[in-house]
Amino acid sequence: MRTTKIMTISMPPEIAEQLESYRKKNNFTKSELVRHALRGLFYSQFPVYKPTKTEIRAIEAGRRQIAKGNFITLEQLHAKLERKNFKKSRKTI
């Protein structure tokens, strides 16, 4: 269930006039205009990445392996890497 959040904002009159002009020109409600503007801001800061077909196939293959139980945990990976790094750092005489 989605709930609507209400927000009150303040802005200089000149910005409010520009927004109202843009809103009317593009036939937006005030809520639609704010959502449109925020989406533009968020997408410019955090672009949506569309994976390639090859990447999608690799993701699906990985999910199939996970479903079969063919994976290690992050803790297991860290332990394995620590053992590997420990062996490399030992000095030989």
Give me the pLDDT at residue 79, please.
Answer: 93
Give me the pLDDT at residue 2, please.
Answer: 76
Residue type, 10: S
Q: Where are the domains of the chain?
A: 13-45, 53-89
Give me the pLDDT at residue 76, please.
Answer: 94
Return the half-sphere exposure (C-beta side, CA atoms, 13 A cut-off) of residue 13: 0
Chunk the chain into consecutive blocks of 10 residues (it has 93) and report each block's average pLDDT, rounded to whole numbers: 84 93 93 90 88 97 96 94 72 59
Residue with tokens 């063919």: 70
Dist. CA 3–CA 34, nearest whole Å = 17
